[in-house]
Structure 1
Amino acid sequence: MNNASTHYDVIVIGAGSVGTPTALSLAKAGLKVLVLDALPSAGQGSNKHAIGGIRATHSDPAKIRLCLRSIEIFSTWKEIYGDDIEWHKGGYVFVAYREQEERTLKELLRKQQSYGLNISWLDANDLVKLIPYLNREGLIGGTYSPDDGSASPLLSIHAFYKHARQYGAEFHFNEPVMEMIVRGGKIQGVKTTKGTYNAKVVVNAAGAWAKSLGNLVGLTIPVQPDSHEAAITEPVQRLFDPMVVDIRPAKGSANFYFYQHKTGQILFCITPSPNIWGFDTRETSSFLPMVSKRIVEVMPSLQHIRVRRTWRGLYPMTPDGFPIVGWSKEVEGFLLAVGMCGQGYMLGPGLGELLTRMVIQSPLPQDDEILSILSPYREFAGQEKLK
C-alpha cells in the first residue's frame, strides 16, 4: 500500500512555462501539488529557449484575457514577491511597410480595441518619434501597444519554482512518467521511473512532449513540435523600447521580431516557413544570415552589433495556432494545458490561475468564453492572425 506521501490533490506533468506557474497557483489555493519532469530542473525544456516577450496583443479574447492577467503578474512580481525578473514595460510595435500589412493590422486593431486592449495606430512620423532608428523608407505606420513588455524567462521560472515550493508544492526532477493509472475512465495517478503517485487530477503541461503523454491514456492530442531559432547580441546602450514585429513573409520566414532586453542585449527570432517539424534543436548556418538581413532592413543602425550566440527551441503547435485547454471527456480528471504555439511563457501565469479555478470549481465570468475558444473539442479550422 502507498504511504500518505504519495497522495496528492493534483499532479502536474511538466515544470516549464505553464506547469511551474500552475503549481504555484494551485499551491497558493491550498492544494497538495506534485510536479513531475523528466529534465534536471525547472524550465529546462522550451522555457529556456524563449526570448522573453510578453504581450496581450493577440487576435482573440481568450489569449488577450489570459495575457492581460499574465502582464499584471509579471509587472508586479518584484513588488509583491521581491524577485527581480527583469520586467521591462517596453510595449510592442507591429510595423507596416506594405499596404497588405497595413490592412491586416488595421482590421485587427478594431477587434483588439473592442476587447479592451490599449493599442493604437501610429503613422510613420509618430512611429519614428517612438523608435528613431526605424528605417523610414517605405514605412507606412504600425500598431503600438504600450502596456506589453518583456522579462527574463530563466529568472521568472526560477521565481515561480521558488515560491511554489514555499507554498508547499513538491517537484521531482529526472523522473519521466511511464504510465497513467486510469480505472473506470477516471484518473487515479501516475507511475514514473521512480515511483507511483496518486491523484484525482493530472495536468498535462508537457509542452512539446504533450502528445506522447496523451498517448498514455489513449488520447490523440494534435500537438507537434516546430523548431524555431533565435539569437542574442552583446549588450549595448538603450536604442529602442518596444518589441518590433514585421509580419511580412520572406523566403524561409513567415515573419520576424526583435527587441532590446532590460539588460541591453538585443534578442531576435523568426517564424520559419515552411515549418521545421520535429525535436531537432541544433543551430543552423542559414538562420543568422537570413534574419540579420531582415533586421538591418528595418533598423539599419543594428548592423555593427555583434551576435553572441544562437539557439533553437521547440514551439508546440496546434493545427489552428491556438492552445488546447480543458478537461478530457474520455478520461475524467485529465486536464489539458498544451499546444501553446510558442507563447507558453506569456500565457503561463494567467493560464495557471485559470487551471486552478477549474480544479477548485471557482470560475470567473469570462472563463466560459476562454475555455470555449481553447476547447480540446473545437473544430481546428482557420489560423490565429498574430502567431
Structure 2
Amino acid sequence: MSQTFIDLHILQTVPPSNINRDDTGSPKTATYGGVRRARVSSQAWKRATRVAFDDYLDRNELGVRTKRVPELIAEAIETRAPYLGQQARELAAETTRQIGMKVDVPKKQTGHEPAPEVGYLVFLSRRQIENLAQAAIEAADSDDVGKALKAAKVKELADRDHSVDIALFGRMVADQADINVDAAAQVAHAISVHPVETEFDYFTAVDDRNTEEETGAGMIGTVEFNSSTLYRYATVNVGRLRETLGDTLATRRAAEAFVSAFVRSMPTGKQNTFANRTLPEAVVVQVRESQPINLVGAFEHPVRELGVVGRIKAASDALRDEAREIERAYGECPIAAWVTRVGDDTAGLDDLGQNVALSTLVTDVGDLVAARLDQS
C-alpha cells in the first residue's frame, strides 16, 4: 500500500516579539531568496508542540527527556517499593548502566547532593520508566544485581512501549544506537514570508524606593525584536508512526494531537515582555501518498505589501499558486486536503481544500489515518 504523509502549511502573523533568540539575544534570522528573514528554529517549535501535548493526551502517553535517568528510575522504584530505601538509587544507577549508558555524578553543589546523570539528554516513556523500575525491584534480592538485570533484558525494556512524543520526534542515544527511534515527524524552521530588520526597544525602569534622590531611571537597557508573518511547515509519516507505536488507535491519537498542538503552540521566548501569542491566520493540511512537499518556494520572492493588499493576502495567494504549480508540473495531487482560515484575505486558500473549523479538520485527519491503516 502507498505511504501516508500529513503535510501542515501554516501562515501566522506575530507582532513585535523575540520568541527564539540566538546566543547574543537577537531574534534568529536566515537569508532566503537573497533577503534576511525572521526565523524560528525547528527545535523551538517542536519543544512548544511537545509541551502542548499535555492539553491533548494523558501524561501516561508521553515521555520525559532528561539527563537524570537514574533519578527518574529511582523515584519509580521508591514509589513501588519504599522498603528498599537508599538501595533504590543504587538499583537505578545499575539499571541505567545495564541499558548501556554511562552514569556520572556531577560535582557537589552547595546545599544538596547532586543526582547521578548520563552525559546527554535521553527520552524515555513513562511506561519504560515503570518497566525498568519493576525489573530493578525484582533484581534487588539477587546476589549479582547486574547479572539479574541483564537477564531481565532491561535494554529491551527501554526499547518498547514508546510514548507518543518519542514516536513523533525520535530518540537518539549516543552510547546505544540500536535503541534509537526514527522520528515520524519533521518540522521545518519557520521563516518570514517577507524581509525583516531587527529593531531595538530602549527601556527604562524606575526604582520605587528611590524616587526622591534619583530622578532618572534606576535601570536602562535594550531588547531586540522583530515582527513577521511566518510560513510554518511540518510533516508526519503515518506509517513510521504506526510502526513505532504498534497500534492503529494510538497512531490516530498521536496524529490528531500533533496537528492540534503544532497549530496552536507558540515558543515562549520573551512572552512576558511582548505578549505576542497569536493563532494562525491560515492552516492548510494536505495528505499525500508519494512524498511530503514543503511549499516554501512560494516565498522565495519575498512578499511585499502593495497598496491595500497586506502580507496575509499576498502570502495566501502565493501559497495557493505554488501548490497549484506543483500539482501541474509534477502531478503531485494530495489525496485529501482541508483549510482552516481567518478573514477574507485568506479566501484564496479555499481552492486547496475543504474550508472547515480546526476541530473538524483534526477529526477528519484522524478518520483518514485510521481508514488507511485499516486498509494496510
TM-score range, shorter chain: under 0.3
Higher relative contact order (CA 8 A, sep 6+): 2
Larger radius of gyration: 2
Select the structure that is richer in strand.
1
Length-normalised TM-score, structure 1:
0.22
